[in-house]
Copies of this chain bind each other. A is one copy, B any other.
Amino acid sequence: MKILIVDDDPHIRDVVRFALEQANFDVDEAADGKQGLDLFDPAVHQLIVLDVMMPEMDGTEVCRKIRAEAATPIIFLSSRDDEIDKVLGLELGADDYIAKPFSPRELVARVKAMMRRLELDGGGKAPADDAEIMEHGELKLDRTSFEAFWGDHAIELTKTEFMMVWGMMRYPTKVYSREALMRLAYDDHNVVVSDRTIDSHVRHIRKKFEAIDAAPIETVHGVGYRLAKAVDG
């Protein structure tokens, strides 16, 4: 997975590229909005660094077009306050912005923060990522059969529900934001749903486990959800 930089100023591109590569990211560059759209591939780019003010096609328009096909997070670069207003006016979902002038260090920090928030960095290298079966305490999932178990009890989960729990199992102690859960549930990054929808899925999962007095998911108020701690002996 790569990061796509779209900026008409080659100097800025250099800085950004260098900073990100130092931080061990792979980078693609585009010199204007059109080229950016051409180059962009939702399956390849996990994040976009996008200048707001560009000749030809400005950043907000690029954003809109990208949004039409993918929910890939975007970090805007902007210098003037009114540009920032414009960016904020967008439906800033998985987005952030940085005011110029920015330091390379700040950029990298933001990118990392975004990755963390969206649970993208773990995207391919979770512990036991390609396992067929994962366990955490009483909870066991089998992705070959799409079945969940709590101890010996089998639980029927729908695809979305299963994917959410499966995803959380990769880092069973981590708190997942709703945004992150969204990405776990829909491995294609193009879906954008309301946070309440996530609540709803969580509720359905809980309900199914309640039937056998199990509570696999706990709430972290104001942050998200987390798997219940394993208490086995």
A residues with CB within 8 A of B: 11, 14-15, 18-19, 22, 81, 84-85, 88, 92-96, 98-99, 101-106, 109-110, 112-114, 116-117, 129-130, 142, 144-147, 158-159, 171, 173-175, 220-223, 226
Contacts and interface: CB of A to CB of B under 8 A. Distances in A.
A101 B106 CA distance: 8
Nearest to A187: B113
Contact of A88 (B81, B104, B113, B117): B104
Given A81-B14, A95-B105, A96-B101, A144 B88 contact: no
A145 B88 contact: no
Given A144-B171, A158-B222, A174-B145, A103 B109 contact: no
A220 B146 CA distance: 8
A112 B171 CA distance: 21
B19 A88 contact: yes
Chain copies in complex: 2
Given A144-B175, A158-B222, A223-B159, A105 B92 contact: yes
Given A103-B117, A158-B222, 18 more contacts: A11-B84, A14-B81, A14-B84, A18-B85, A18-B88, A101-B106, A101-B109, A101-B110, A101-B113, A103-B113, A106-B117, A116-B144, A144-B171, A146-B175, A146-B223, A147-B173, A158-B221, A159-B223
Contacts of A222: 158-159
30 contacts: A11-B84, A11-B99, A14-B81, A19-B88, A19-B92, A22-B88, A88-B104, A92-B103, A95-B103, A96-B103, A96-B104, A98-B101, A101-B113, A103-B114, A103-B117, A106-B117, A109-B129, A109-B130, A112-B130, A116-B144, A142-B173, A144-B171, A144-B174, A144-B175, A145-B173, A145-B174, A145-B226, A146-B175, A147-B173, A159-B222
